[in-house]
């Protein structure tokens, strides 16, 4: 339990940041699920749109330091590989 004023403030900041980061990470995960579902459906327009949204979401999370920039790059690479495997 926080005993002084600055520790109490740090706890409040941590709670706010954790909630913000969790929401951003959830957005990335939902975009990934949508992109994979589009790949399985085979609709080329939907695939292009969902992958673009996923890439953008991952990059935004990386820019906000919620995920590492290399992690965002890895996510995009894996979704591209999944697309190549599905179309081959």
Tens of pLDDT, residue by residue over 16-63, are: 999 999 999 999 999 999 999 999 998 889 999 999 999 999 999 999
- What one-character-per-residue DSSP string does the chain give? ---SHHHHHHHHHHHHHHHHHHHHHHHHHHHHHHHHHHHHHT-HHHHHHHHHHHHHHHHHHHHTTSS-HHHHHHHHHHHHHHHHHHH-
Q: Which pLDDT band, with edges at 50, 70 and 90, does 14 fall under? A: very high
> What is the per-residue pLDDT for 87?
86
Q: Which pLDDT band, with edges at 50, 70 and 90, does 2 fall under? A: confident
Q: How many domains does the chain have?
A: 1
Domain extent, residue 79, equals 5-87
CATH number at residue 74: 1.20.58.110
Residue 1 confidence (pLDDT) above 80:
no
Residue 77 confidence (pLDDT) above 80:
yes
């Amino acid at each position: 339990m926080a005993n002084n004023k600055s520790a109490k403030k740090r706890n409040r900041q941590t709670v706010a940041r954790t909630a913000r980061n969790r929401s951003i990470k959830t957005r990335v995960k939902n975009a990934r699920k949508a992109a994979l579902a589009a790949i399985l459906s085979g609709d080329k327009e939907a695939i292009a749109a969902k992958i673009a949204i996923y890439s953008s979401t991952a990059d935004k999370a990386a820019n906000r330091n919620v995920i590492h920039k290399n992690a965002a790059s890895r996510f995009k690479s894996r979704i591209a590989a999944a697309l190549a495997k599905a179309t081959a």
